[in-house]
Amino acid sequence: MTALPPGAIDCDLHPAPPSVAALLPYLEPHWADAAGHRGLHELETIAWPPNAPLSCRPDWRDGAARPGSDPERLIGDAVDGFGTRYAILNCLYGAPMLYSEDMAAGFTRALNDWLRAEWLDRDPRLRASILVPPHAPELAAEEIGRAAQDRRFVQVLLPVMGETPPGRRINWPVYAAAERAGLPVAFHAGSAYRHPPTPVGWPSYLAEDYAAQATAFQSALTSLIAEGVFQKFPDLTVVFAESGVAWLPAHLWRLAKYWRGLRMEVPWVDRSPEEIVRERVRFTIQPFDAPEEPDAVARLLDHIGSDDMLLFATDYPHWQFDGMGALPEGLPETLVQRIAVDNPLNTYPRLGEGEP
Ligand code: ZN
């Protein structure tokens, strides 16, 4: 098992979303009343049914308790367990699936306040992402401005499948607000379910949904590049969380090839997509979707073509992540240092504040 260096940073782990009852103290009175009137008890996670085997490794399952629901257990298993310096909580709450923009904004606001009080205040190693309603960009921007005042929030979190392709201009207020606050925008596997998760229609099984996430990330990446998001927001970093990375070299090859042929259509894309991605997009490494042989991993990393792009993550407590062997085998020590420490510190400027 590859050992983590001191100061490692876990860039993707998952506290279980709260029940509506647990969120009530953080909801504005109007939304607390609305939850009562509607008989709303749960807003399920985005694509993570809590009882599905995929939602928790058996060794992290704790009887009937919802995986990731006990802060002390998460801190013991994942933060103490891996000895990480910081761990970034990505709470995959279902509020982005609500059709009412106002209600989604009300519930994401409460969720961010709940994260602050129930998790961040509990352990100085915890950091979190700001959840926002993806289909209400102006309200999302407002929430970024509000929540980002607490510097323990280190990025903005969106499901990779929202209402529109993420590069579209309607989404730009989110990127403007994130850039203003100095926060990366993370797209995590998951959907607001405005569209089928596969381009050929609605699938029947969770396995199909999960496998389709990689194609959603490809489409999201293409949209961000083609619409000129990286030119419009020169200081914005994008993180792909739980996206997998094995698809990246082949997709970039294809994208760069067609960009060369069709660039007159998108003159603002003034560099090869490969260059843009290497400079501006980062990827969490769990679950690592490549063969286990060190040679195959080395070849993949060679094809990716940069040591700066991968971020250590455990994806705790989900089942498909590699448990205590969260880093691929056979990586050179210098690359492990980059993935576990240097790249996260460069991606998340707020993490370095107060560091010697
Ligand atoms: Zn994840």
- Judge whether 228 and 197 are in contact, CB under 8 Å: no
Closest CA to 112 of 26, 181, 44, 186: 26
Q: Any idea where the domains of the chain sit in the sequence?
A: 9-352
Give residue 6 CA to ligand 1 midpoint distance, Å.
22
Give residue 265 CA to ligand 1 midpoint distance, Å.
35
Phi-psi label, residue 190: left if phi above 0, alpha if psi -120 to 50, beta otherwise: left
Q: How far apart are CA 114 and CA 66, in angstroms?
A: 17
Give residue 188 CA to ligand 1 midpoint distance, Å.
7
3-state secondary structure of 187: strand
Q: Quote the pTM value.
A: 0.93
Which CATH topology does 9-352 take? TIM Barrel (3.20.20)
pLDDT per residue as tens digits for the range 98-146? 999 999 999 999 999 999 999 999 999 999 999 999 999 999 999 999 9
- pLDDT tens per residue across all 356 residues of the chain: 678 999 999 999 999 999 999 999 999 999 999 998 988 887 766 556 666 666 666 666 666 667 788 899 999 989 999 999 999 999 999 998 899 999 999 999 999 999 999 999 999 999 999 999 999 999 999 999 999 999 999 999 999 999 999 999 999 999 999 999 999 999 999 999 999 999 999 999 888 988 899 999 999 999 999 999 999 999 999 999 999 999 999 999 999 999 999 999 999 999 999 999 999 999 999 888 887 788 888 888 888 888 999 999 999 887 656 666 778 887 888 999 999 999 999 999 999 886 55
- Judge whether 86 and 94 are in contact, CB under 8 Å: no
Give residue 315 CA to ligand 1 midpoint distance, Å.
5
Closest CA to 187 of 40, 12, 42: 12
Q: Report pLDDT for 234.
A: 98
Which residues make Cβ contacts (< 8 Å) with residue 153, sequence separation at least 6?
Answer: 112, 116, 127, 128, 129, 130, 147, 183, 350
Q: Give the H/E segment covering residue 157.
A: strand 153-161
Give residue 37 CA to ligand 1 midpoint distance, Å.
33
Give residue 2 CA to ligand 1 midpoint distance, Å.
20
Q: Report pLDDT for 353.
A: 86
As beta bridge partners, residue 128 has 89, 153
Give residue 154 CA to ligand 1 midpoint distance, Å.
16
Give the chain's largest Cα–Cα span: 58
Give residue 241 CA to ligand 1 midpoint distance, Å.
6
